[in-house]
Amino acid sequence: MTWTITASLDEFRAAAGEYLAAHPAENTALLTIADRLERNGLNAFGAQPPRFGWWRPRPDAPVDGVFLQTPPYPPRLGRTPVGAGAALADALHARGEALAAVSGGKAAALAFAERWQRLTGAEPAVRTDERLYRLDGLTPPSPAPEGRFRLARSADRELLIEWLTAFVAEAGVMEPDLDAAAIVDQRIAERSWHVWESAGRPVSFAGASPVIAGMSRIGPVYTPPEHRRNGYAGAVVAGASAHAVAEGAGEVLLYTDLANPTSNSVYQKLGYRPVEDCIVLDLN
């Protein structure tokens, strides 16, 4: 079993691009991160250079596993067999890497963490347990809440900066040196963020990533506490999902926190169906 690890995005895409595109659901995070690195440069997520890897069961075999890392974020496994997850732990340990966490599909990430524990003594601990969903025919909320769906615009900028900061804090997402203003500006410019508006004011927002390899992923989704339990999140996600389909997405995906039964129920009612469970594991 062979992992190839590189700092070159071009090499990664040349070797693993077909594999990434062939499995856009399981590789959704890697596809969007690689796209962001292409758009914004290799330092888009931090000062340290990213690294990329692909796995072959034999040197002459097709690619059958992928990961990338954009420090300070942990390695993210895409569609990867369990044995390759363990082998990646061996490969990174042999390079002298010090890792605080790992994320990806549950089976492969657990295999990585178990091997890392044997190699280093680190005790894996679950940080987040997620489920990846795929849209299987959109069923908008009926009746829809009062209001309307629209693209986010520059007049929403300050409110969306506030909401993004609140979302990150509430979700417990690791966002070192978050530049909320830059993120909001970019998402508004690329027409990838949406709001539900009630009584002339935004009350909820959702992102829909640009279509890559026929795939778009919904997120983040946030409704401030004072506007919750009115159906706004379901309505804005339905609108963002329809927008992604209209933009050419054959696969529309989203992640939910398994600790939040409300969001899991809402998205299933909209027509989302489970693909796989994913996990973020701290390696303390």
Q: What is the pLDDT of residues 72-102, one digit of tens each?
A: 999 999 999 999 999 999 999 999 999 999 9
- Concatenating the DSSP letter of every residue in 188-227 gives HHTT-EEEEEETTEEEEEEEEPPPBTTEEEEEEEE--GGG
194: nearest Cα among 247, 142, 230? 247
pLDDT of residue 277: 98
For 241-275, the pLDDT digits (tens) are 999 999 999 999 999 999 999 899 999 999 999 99
Domain borders along the chain are: 2-122, 135-275
Residue 177 pLDDT greater than 80, yes or no:
no
What was the pLDDT predicted at 174?
Answer: 61
Name the one residue in this structure whose structure tokens are 């949406």. 194
Indicate the SS3 state at residue 134.
strand
pTM to 2 decimal places: 0.94
* Confidence label for 175 from pLDDT (cuts 50, 70 and 90): low
Contact present, 87 and 61 (Cβ < 8 Å): no
Per-residue pLDDT at 122 exceeds 70 = yes
pLDDT of residue 79: 98
Closest CA to 17 of 42, 52, 49: 52
Tokens of 26: 């399981």
Between strands 193-198 and 124-135, the pairing is unpaired
At the fourth CATH level, the homologous superfamily of domain 135-275 is: Gcn5-related N-acetyltransferase (GNAT) (3.40.630.30)
**What average pLDDT score do residues 189-196 get?**
97
pLDDT band at 171 (very low <50, low <70, confident <90, very high): confident
| High-pLDDT (> 70) share of the chain, % | 99
Listed residue (202, 200, 130) closest to 162, CA to CA: 202
Residue 281 backbone zone (phi > 0: left; psi -120 to 50: alpha; other: beta): beta
Residue-level pLDDT at 172? 73
Residue 17 has pLDDT above 80, yes or no: yes
Beta-bridge mates of residue 210: none
| Rounded CA separation 244/138 (Å) | 11
Q: Strand 66-69 and strand 148-151: pairing?
A: unpaired
